[in-house]
Amino acid sequence: MSCSEWKEVTLADISIGGKGSYGISASAVEYSEGLFTYLRITDISDDGIIIKDSLMSVDDKNAEKYLLEPNDIVFARTGNSTGRSYFYDGRDGKFVYAGFLIKFSLDPEKVNPKFMRYYTISTDYRNWVSSFSTGSTRGNINAQTYGSMKIKLPPRKQQDFLVEILSKLDEKIEINKQINKKLEEMAQAIFKHWFIDFEFPNENGEPYKSSGEEMVESELGMIPKGWEVSNLNTVADIEMGQSPKGTSYNESGIGEVFYQGRTDFGNRFPTKRLYTTEPKKMAKAGDILMSVRAPVGDINIAYEDCCIGRGLCLIRNREGHSSYMYYLMMSIRETLEIYNSEGTVFGSINKETLKSLPIIKPHSSIIEMYEKLVNDLDQKYLYNVKENRILVSLRDTLLPKLMSGEIRVPVDN
């Protein structure tokens, strides 16, 4: 198989009907199992994965006409999300695609449809999208322009080989994500049972409150005897981020990892994007990172020692109980929501307000018991995250080699 067998096609050439279709122009409504799920630009990550935490529904008489079918691929056409894509194979459930997305139905007779899922995370594709940008602003891309996008298409055997190898990596990544989802659900359930429902184990190993153990009045309601109402600063040190000079930023890995704000957050851990040679405020691995500007209260954990900008603060448990601290902060996110709607254009919270946030402070022995139990779950979670980062790096290393033919389908003897 020689590179001369690679041929140049357009997206329209390999799509049924030879053109793209715009999604439905309808408002999103609160998610309901009785309605179709609404796929919007904001529901798609940069690497083409659905962000399931904030999915909405659509309630429109014409919604069914815009349902995705297996082998469809959608592209974001406007704003800073321009170029994001999502390949639909049916496994994520039914989706109606929104008006800021453009759908192409890939023809399986002309291309391995999943090949396009990988093409759209390739450097060639991202460079093509970037060619429409002006400065830091991404340009809009309409259906006609997407349709005219040129693709260097390998022979079908090479496409199939690429998809087979990379799909196995993606499947393992997805398995790890599902395991982590279960691990976090378990840890959150234990936190709620112990620290909100007050059903932590008593001296006999029985649920405290339902066993009739003593409860006392407090300004936050009835709490277990020996617990107290306190403030966040009695269990944690809090430091606000400080942004270095813009001239110190780079994407080349020089200096310290730098997280400016919420835009760098991922699923529990931030995503490395920028570095700085002049760090001002450093967080330690395991510190809680919280957004202090709209949206106030979003939470991540520092994956490594890092510099944090003015959009973040660090919260460090004084006893080193990082798991307890994480789930405590997750539990008070609703309390922080008020700071996103206090009449200002952009919500924010300052250090003194953070320090004074009221909390129910359990007996230290209960926190230690929880930490020992849940930290094991969190360590398994972290192991899976580390493995996924290795798998993603491997996938991204193999992708251009498979695309170009540097790594080719084995020749049958």
Domains of the chain, residue spans: 7-153, 155-202+363-412, 228-361
Residue 252 burial (10 A CB sphere; 0-12, 13-18, 19+): exposed
Which one-letter DSSP state was computed for residue 129? Answer: H
Write down the H helix ranges in 282-409: 322-331, 333-336, 351-355, 364-404
Task: Tell me which architecture the domain covering 155-202+363-412 has in CATH.
Answer: Orthogonal Bundle (1.10)
Fold of 7-153: Adenine-n6-DNA-methyltransferase TaqI; Chain A, domain 2 (3.90.220)
Print pLDDT tens along the chain (413 aa). Answer: 566 789 999 999 999 999 999 999 999 999 999 999 999 999 998 889 998 888 999 999 999 999 999 999 999 999 889 999 999 999 999 999 999 999 999 999 999 999 999 999 999 999 999 999 876 667 899 999 999 999 999 999 999 999 999 999 999 999 999 999 999 999 999 999 999 999 999 999 999 999 999 999 999 999 999 999 999 999 999 999 999 999 999 999 999 999 999 989 988 999 999 999 999 999 999 999 999 998 899 999 999 999 999 999 999 999 999 999 999 999 999 889 888 865 544 589 999 999 999 999 999 999 999 999 999 999 999 999 999 999 999 999 999 999 999 999 886 64
Tokens representing 48 are: 């083409």
User: Do the first three CATH levels of 155-202+363-412 and 228-361 match, i.e. the same topology?
Assistant: no
Architecture label for domain 228-361: Alpha-Beta Complex (3.90)
CA atoms of 207 and 102, how far apart (whole Å): 54
pTM above 0.95, yes or no: no
> CA-CA-CA-CA torsion for 153, 158, 162, 165, nearest 10 degrees?
180
In sequence order, the β-bridge partners of residue 135 are: none
- CB 216 within 8 Å of CB 223: yes
Q: What DSSP letter does each residue of 365-401 carry, written as one string?
A: HHHHHHHHHHHHHHHHHHHHHHHHHHHHHHHHHHHHH
Between CA 329 and CA 325 the distance in angstroms is: 6
Residue in the structure block whose two tokens are 């206090």: 342
